[in-house]
């Protein structure tokens, strides 16, 4: 289960990175509902300060924290080996 959560975190961050969602450019959490354990993954990423939450009246948005860009990319590459070549 823990390994699945780690992969989920990497997939969420990869999707945000692909869409260039850093700092104030965010995406709605409803676009991530296909990920199992989404709430747990977001909580853990918030603890590490890798995610930024944008609470709006009608929805909640998430973005990657550019201060941790190097660590985020390393984490994604480590957990998603199939994209390792794409990240170079």
Q: How many residues does the chain have?
A: 88
Mean pLDDT for back-to-back runs of 10 residues, the chain (88 residues): 85 96 96 93 97 96 97 93 67
CB 50 within 8 A of CB 65: yes
CATH architecture designation of domain 2-83: Orthogonal Bundle (1.10)
pLDDT of residue 83: 75
pLDDT of residue 66: 97
pTM for the model? 0.89
Structure tokens at 77: 């590459």
pLDDT of residue 88: 53
Domain boundaries defined on the chain: 2-83
């Amino acid at each position: 289960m823990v390994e699945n959560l780690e992969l989920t975190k990497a997939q969420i961050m990869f999707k945000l990175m692909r869409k260039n969602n850093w700092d104030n450019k965010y995406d709605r959490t409803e676009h991530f509902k296909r990920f199992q354990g989404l709430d747990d993954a977001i909580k853990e990423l918030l603890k590490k300060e890798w995610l930024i939450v944008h609470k709006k009246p009608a929805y909640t948005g998430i973005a990657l924290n550019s201060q941790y860009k190097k660590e985020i990319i390393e984490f994604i590459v480590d957990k998603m080996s199939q994209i390792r070549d794409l990240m170079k």
